[in-house]
Amino acid sequence: MDRLKLTYFDFAGGRAEPARLALHIGGIAFEDYRFAPSDFPEVRKTTPLNQVPTLHVNAVQVTQSDAISRYAGKLAGLYPEDAFQALLCDEVMGALEDLNIKLGATFGLSGDELKNARGALVSDVLPTYLRWLETQLENHGGMYFADNRLTVADLKAFTLLRWLCSGKLDHIPVDLVDAVAPKLTTYVQRVGSLPEIAQYYARLGAA
């Protein structure tokens, strides 16, 4: 079996979380290497593009979070084999990455700059994407985003939506998802209550 080492920040969430969850759910052995944010300047020197997550597959280091998540999903049986269902899965993952990028652009800002940037997201971008996600969920059966079952698209959606509702993002209302796309709130609660996912966070002691 290949030796896997997934490298990312030591917190629950972020771009490595879908892969962490997929490997956990699939019972795939891997080294979950987590580091403190203060160690990032040194860790990034060891990465191909000065960013994380990275995945070592034996001696080969791979970058790009969605590629890593898809690989983990395939190993765990959480990525569609049907080409069209894989397309639907990838579409949602790409849209979610758009949101990650737009939110990430506000980090490093402070004061009024941060308030204004996040306010712009709340008034336009986030509602647009959240309503689109809700529509996609409904159009694909109301339970999952693709293949009528849990896939890495769901793990990525769960991770990002959970973050938006966490209260950890200044100037992002904790009730934004519920106000704009309430079916996504129910969706997050349902996915989070799946035994493998609930056990994963219980073991980590992560709220």
Share of the chain above pLDDT 90, in %: 97
Q: How far apart are CA 55 and CA 39, in angstroms?
A: 18
Taking 70 as the threshold, does the pLDDT of residue 206 lie above it? no
What is the dotted CATH code of the domain comprising 83-194? 1.20.1050.10
Output the pLDDT for position 117: 98
Question: Model confidence over 103-122: pLDDT tens digits?
Answer: 999 999 999 999 999 999 99
Which has the closest alpha carbon to 80: 93, 98, 96? Answer: 93
pLDDT level of residue 1 (50, 70, 90 thresholds): confident
Q: What is the pLDDT of residues 54-86, one digit of tens each?
A: 999 999 999 999 999 999 999 999 999 999 999
- At residue 31, the pLDDT reads 98
Residues 6+ apart with CB under 8 A from 115: 170, 171
Every domain range in the chain assigned CATH 1.20.1050.10:
83-194
**Is pLDDT at 207 greater than 80 in this prediction?**
no
Residues of the chain with CATH 3.40.30.10: 4-77
Q: Which of 12, 8, 30 is nearest to 160 (CA)?
A: 12
The pLDDT score that the predictor gives to residue 204 is 86
Q: Is 144 helix (H, G, I), strand (E, B) or coil?
A: coil
HSE-up of residue 149 (Cα within 13 Å, Cβ side): 10
Architecture of domain 4-77: 3-Layer(aba) Sandwich (3.40)
Mean pLDDT, the chain, as a whole number?
97
pLDDT tens-digit map of 15-53: 999 999 999 999 999 999 999 999 999 999 999 999 999
Burial class from Cβ neighbours inside 10 Å (0-12, 13-18, 19+) for residue 47 reads middle
Q: What is the pLDDT of residues 127-141, one digit of tens each?
A: 999 999 999 999 999
